[in-house]
Amino acid sequence: MVINAIHILSVINAVSTDTQQISAMINRVYAVVASISAVLIGLLWIPIAIGYFSTDENRKFEARTRTKNALIGTLIYIFAMSGALYAVLNYIITGA
């Protein structure tokens, strides 16, 4: 009986360790994806910022429009990564 209890505890510890390792890997992948996405968003904002330094009024007006669109896109991305977008859509669809 004692040997079976020890064996069961060792199996539970092994499963717990595997679960912790998988959880750590998922968190690491999430961090890498978030970091790469942040760099891409930063790179996409550069042409918009450069548009403000133009002497042409048309380019400045286009830069304002692109800034608005980029800000909306960035906010949607932030809400999606944080889970807030899922919560809002879940509330709208299910009402709870």
| C-alpha angle 78-82-86 in degrees, rounded to nearest 5 | 100
| 3 state SS of 96 | coil
Q: Which of 25-34, 42-51, 82-91 has the highest mean pLDDT?
A: 42-51
Q: What is the pLDDT of residues 72-82, one digit of tens each?
A: 999 988 888 88
Residue pair 37/78 in contact by the 8 Å Cβ criterion? no
Can you spell out the DSSP letters for 39-91?
HHHHHHHHHHHHHTT-S-HHHHHHHHHHHHHHHHHHHHHHHHHHTHHHHHHHH
The model carries a pTM of 0.62
More confident residue, 17 or 5: 17
Q: Where are the domains of the chain?
A: 2-94
Whole-angstrom Cα distance, residue 93 to residue 48? 35
Q: What is the pLDDT of residues 50-73, one digit of tens each?
A: 988 988 889 889 999 999 999 999
